[in-house]
Amino acid sequence: MPPKGRIAVNEMYCKGCELCVNACPQHVIALAADRITAKGYHPAALVKEGCTGCAICSVVCPEAAITVWREAVRRVPA
């Protein structure tokens, strides 16, 4: 099973350039057509299940607007 991840886009920084949308290997990011940011852009958002937390979106993001988390399985000796 692929790892599960999630992203949060800081809409103060996001300018809707779509670089993350195009770079996402899982195709789970899209611009949110239903809202605009204070600067007037449709912000990027996670719109589907399937994020693996690969962080490629954050690598291409020119605004450092994306925070990425991934679930990690840690083995804990009982």
Partner 1 sequence: MVMSDIQEEVVYQRPVSLENTVTHYCPGCTHGTAHRLVAEVLDEMGIREKTIGVASVGCSVFAYNYINTDFVQAPHGRAPAMATGVKRVMPDRFVFTYQGDGDMASIGMGEIVAAAARGENITVIFINNTNYGMTGGQMAPTTLPGQKTTSSPTGRDVEVQGYPVRAVELLSTLDGASYAVRRSLHDPKNIRMAKKAIRTAFEVQARGLGFSVVELLSICPTNWGMTPDQALNWLEQHMIPYYPIGDFKVHEAIANLRF
What is d(CA 33, CA 45) in angstroms, rounded to the nearest whole number?
A: 10
Interface with partner 1 includes 66 (CB under 8 A)? yes
* Contact between residue 7 and residue 68 where contact means Cβ atoms under 8 Å apart: yes
Q: Build a one-symbol-per-residue string for 18-47: x at contacts with partner 1 by CB under 8 A, - elsewhere.
A: xx--xx---------------x-x------
Single out the residue of 2, 12, 35, 48 in contact with partner 1 (rule: CB under 8 A).
12
What is d(CA 2, CA 49) in angstroms, rounded to the nearest whole number?
A: 12
What is d(CA 34, CA 57) in angstroms, rounded to the nearest whole number?
A: 21
Which positions touch partner 1 (CB under 8 A)?
A: 5, 10, 12-13, 15-19, 22-23, 39, 41, 53, 55-56, 58-78
